[in-house]
Amino acid sequence: MLPKGEELQRLLDRAADQARLEAKQAGASIYYIRNAKRIRETAEGRKYEIQFDESGNRTEQALHE
């Protein structure tokens, strides 16, 4: 039987935590979307909002949370 509801969410949260830890240990950034913003978080914990202009050029702005 496949996990459902709260059990499924708990498993997904654990998997996300493990992926974040492994990326951090490897010195890699992680990327995610939060509050409709694209975020890049460095292994050191610094966060940047990723934006694209109408030409498709990417920029990053430091987030101060």
Tens of pLDDT, residues 2-41 = 888 899 999 999 999 999 999 999 999 999 999 999 999 9
Alpha helices per DSSP H over 3-49: 5-26
**Interior angle at CA 25, CA 23 and CA 28, nearest 5:** 40
Q: Which residues contact 26 (CB under 8 A, 6 or more apart)?
A: 43
> Which residues sit opposite 33 in a β-bridge?
38
- Domain-by-domain residue ranges, the chain? 27-65
Confidence of residue 49 (pLDDT cuts 50, 70, 90): very high
Output the pLDDT for position 8: 94
Query: Are residues 44 and 57 in contact, defined by beta-carbon separation less than 8 angstroms?
Result: no
Mean pLDDT within 48-59: 97
pTM of the model: 0.76
**What is the DSSP secondary structure assignment for residue 33, as one 8-state letter?**
E
